[in-house]
Each structure stands twice: as C-alpha cells, then as structure tokens.
C-alpha cells in the first residue's frame, strides 16, 4: 500500500532528485572534475593577478578607472573607501571575491544575453525559459549549495557554479525585456530598407535596448556578489570565508569588517556599471563613449540602391514635363503648365 501523508499519497520528489544527481555524478564525473579544475585554476590565477601589485597601487588603479568612467567625485570616493578596506586588512579577501564575482558575471552574461535574445525573438523559447528563470530566481540561495557540493565537492568551483545559477535570471529577463520594448515601427522601418534580421538586431534593437541590458548586467553583478559571500559556507573563499569564520568564532569585529568590505565592493561595482549603462559619467572615457555611441546611432541599416527616374519620383509621369529643357522649366511661372514653351509664356 502506498504511503500517505494526511490522506495524500506521498510524492517522493527528493528521492527522484537524489537518483538524478547520482546518475549525473556517475555518468559525467570525469567531465565535472575537469570543469572543477578549470574553474579553480582560472579564478585562482585571476585572484593572484589582482593581489600581485601592492594594495595601494591597486586602489589607485581602481579609483582612476572610476574617475575616468564616472565622475571625479566617484574617483575620490572610491579612493577613500578602498583605502579603508586596506586599513581593515581585508584587501586580499576582497580581491579574491572580486575575481570570483568577475568570472561568475562573465559566465552568467555569456549564457544569459544570448538566451535573452533568443527568448525575445521566439515566443516558444520564452515560454520554456520563463518558468526555469522563475525557479532559479525564487529558490532560496542556500538551497543551491547542496547540489553543487554534490557534483563539485567543497571548494571554489562549487561556490562559483552556485553563484552563476543564482545570478543568471536577471541577465536573461532584462535582455528579453529590452529587445521586446524596442518600437515595432523602428523594426519595420529596418525591414522596409532591406536590412536582414541580424542587421536589425545588431544595429537597431541591441543599441536601443542597451540601457535595459546594462541594468541586467548590474543586477547580475549584485546577485553574484551576494551569492559569492554565501558561497563561503562551502569553501568559496574571499570575504565569504571571513564571514563564515566570524560566525564560527562569534567574532563580531571580523564580521563587521568583512561586511563593510562587501558593502564597499558592491557600491563600487554598482556605480561603475551605472556609469557605463546610463552614460551619466563626465570622465574622459565616458565622454569618448558617448561620442562613439552618438556617431554609431546615426548609422541606420543599409538602404538598398534604387534606380533613378520614376522609382524615385513616385507617380511622376514620363513625358513632356521630364523632356522639357531645363531653361524652359526655370522661366515658367508657377501658375503655368510646365509643358508650355517659355516664349509663349512671355508673349502672354
């Protein structure tokens, strides 16, 4: 007799999921190990690059970047805030977290933006993607740590895969939304000029959807940062490990130092991506980018060449009006027919 729960037959969803993950682990174990090694080496190498210069030199570089892309106020604020992180002795952990966030964001965008474009172009893809994104976005963050640890074991790869899963939905959703919000008349004009669907996507839809897409990029970065901290519970490293250590030791001071470092990094990345997406920066690179986009926006899709003659003049008939000499047409008054000779007009 089937087991029941309060009169309802029990649905063994957990057993099904356990069986599925066991099958994946047994079948693709070697592939998953290779992926895990590649992720660990890539993130570790990027973290080593960020930690190689002296902390104050990196602070100066990041602050200069903020000033060039944003405003001089953003540059000065970044300089002060990042210097505080150095003073709290959290710089190495912060750069490790930045490496994880950067790598996870790149992976999420490489998957999310093409998927969002496909969802915007084909309704069938959108109908399939939407419930999957709902599941990924509403599932509690800690739940994703369980399956990734099962497949990748404890360490940086498990935390990074969980971060990509958690941060992916905004990139897909906002890319689809931005493309769907492009005015249909603009797209129809591109079709009328003979542009291909790829040209319309590249030269019309994506440029007009860029602010919305950049908002998605910003959300991906923020979610990746929040999940990167949670990933410290499975050995993700960086500031997440500092938070985990503070919890295990009940070290309030360490927890606040790691938390403030997370806040500084989050605000820095938010303002930087905001300057890139909104175009509100006054720095040299921001002005150069606006001029480049302004020149690029003046180029529409290629217009096919049309033959001169009746095709250009619309309904203008061929005949005396087109065959008349230029001098006669210039001397003829506006009220007279253009086909009358100039001499007759003068005689009248």
Between strands 8-9 and 4-5, the pairing is antiparallel
Looking at the DSSP assignment, which residues form a beta bridge with residue 5? 8
**What pLDDT was estimated at residue 165?**
92
Instruction: Check pLDDT > 60 for residue 201.
Output: yes
For 312, the 3-state DSSP assignment is helix
pLDDT in tens, 14-56: 888 889 988 998 888 889 889 999 999 999 999 999 999 999 9
Closest CA to 212 of 185, 181, 187: 181
Half-sphere exposure of 203 (CA within 13 A, CB side): 17
Contacts (Cβ under 8 Å, ≥6 apart) of 219:
170, 171, 174
How big is the chain, counted in residues? 348
The alpha carbon dihedral of 159, 102, 218, 211 has a sign of negative
Cβ atoms of 267 and 81 closer than 8 Å: yes
CA distance 234 to 154: 5
Question: What would the pLDDT profile of 140-158 be if each residue is shown by its tens digit?
Answer: 888 888 888 888 888 889 9
pLDDT score, position 137 = 85
Cα separation values, 92 from 39, 52, 271, Å = 19, 10, 22
Cα–Cα nearest to 226, from 127, 51, 65, 101: 101
**pLDDT, position 206:** 87
* Joined tokens for residue 144: 């994703």
User: Among 108-117, 224-233, 322-331, which stretch is predicted with the lowest mean pLDDT?
Assistant: 322-331
Closest Cα partner for 309 from 293, 323, 290? 323
State the average pLDDT for the chain.
80
The model's confidence at residue 295, banded by pLDDT at 50, 70 and 90, is low
Which residue reads 């007799």 in tokens?
A: 1
Core vs surface per residue 129-168: b (16+ CB within 10 A) or e: beeebeeeeeeebeebbebbbebbeebbbbbbbbbbbbbb
* pLDDT greater than 50 at residue 221: yes
Q: Is the pLDDT of residue 261 over 60?
A: yes
Lowest-confidence region among 33-42, 216-225, 249-258, 304-313: 304-313
What CA–CA distance (Å, rounded) separates 267 from 74?
Answer: 10
Q: What is the mean pLDDT of residues 58-85?
A: 91
Where is mean pLDDT largest: 74-78, 182-186, 306-310?
74-78
pLDDT exceeds 90 at position 306: no
The answer to whether 273 touches 221, Cβ cutoff 8 Å, is yes
pLDDT at 103 over 70: yes
DSSP 134-186: HHHHHS-GGGGHHHHHHHH-SSHHHHHHHHHHHHHHHHHHHHHHHHHTS-HHH
Task: Dig out the tokens for 57 from the structure.
Answer: 């030199």
Give DSSP secondary structure letters for 53-65. Answer: S-HHHHHHHHHHH
Which range, of 64-68, 95-99, 165-169, 188-192, averages the lowest pLDDT?
188-192
CATH of domain 22-297: 1.10.3720.10
- Best CA proximity match to 150, nearest among 16, 2, 260, 18: 18
99: helix, coil or strand?
helix
- The predicted model gives 265-279 an average pLDDT of 82
């Amino acid at each position: 007799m089937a087991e029941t729960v309060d009169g309802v037959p029990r649905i063994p969803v957990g057993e099904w999921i356990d069986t599925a993950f066991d099958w994946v682990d047994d079948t693709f174990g070697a592939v998953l190990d290779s992926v895990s090694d590649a992720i660990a080496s890539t993130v570790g190498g990027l973290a080593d690059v960020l930690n190689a210069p002296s902390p104050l030199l990196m602070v100066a570089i990041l602050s200069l970047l903020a000033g060039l892309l944003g405003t001089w106020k953003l540059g000065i604020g970044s300089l002060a805030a990042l210097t505080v992180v150095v003073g709290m002795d959290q710089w190495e952990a912060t750069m490790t977290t930045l490496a994880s966030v950067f790598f996870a964001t790149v992976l999420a965008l490489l998957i999310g933006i093409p998927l969002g474009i496909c969802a915007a172009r084909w309704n069938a893809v959108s109908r399939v993607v939407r419930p999957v994104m709902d599941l990924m976005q509403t599932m509690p963050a800690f739940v994703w740590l369980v399956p990734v640890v099962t497949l990748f074991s404890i360490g940086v790869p498990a935390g990074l895969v969980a971060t990509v899963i958690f941060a992916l939905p905004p990139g897909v959703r906002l890319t689809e939304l931005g493309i769907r919000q492009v005015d249909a008349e603009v797209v129809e004009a591109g079709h009328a000029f003979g542009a291909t669907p790829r040209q319309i996507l590249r030269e019309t839809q994506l440029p007009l959807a860029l602010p919305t897409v950049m908002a998605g990029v910003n959300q991906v970065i923020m979610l990746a940062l929040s999940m990167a901290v949670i990933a410290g519970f499975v050995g993700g490293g960086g500031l997440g490990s500092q938070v985990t250590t503070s919890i295990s030791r009940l070290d309030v001071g360490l927890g606040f130092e790691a938390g403030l470092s997370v806040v500084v990094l989050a605000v820095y990345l938010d303002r930087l991506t905001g300057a890139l997406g909104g175009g509100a920066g006054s720095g040299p690179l921001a002005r150069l980018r606006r001029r480049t986009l302004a020149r690029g926006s003046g180029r529409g899709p290629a217009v096919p060449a049309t033959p001169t003659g009746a095709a250009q003049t619309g309904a203008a008939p061929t005949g005396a009006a087109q065959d008349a000499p230029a001098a006669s047409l210039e001397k003829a008054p506006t009220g007279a027919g253009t086909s009358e000779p100039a001499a007759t007009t003068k005689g009248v």
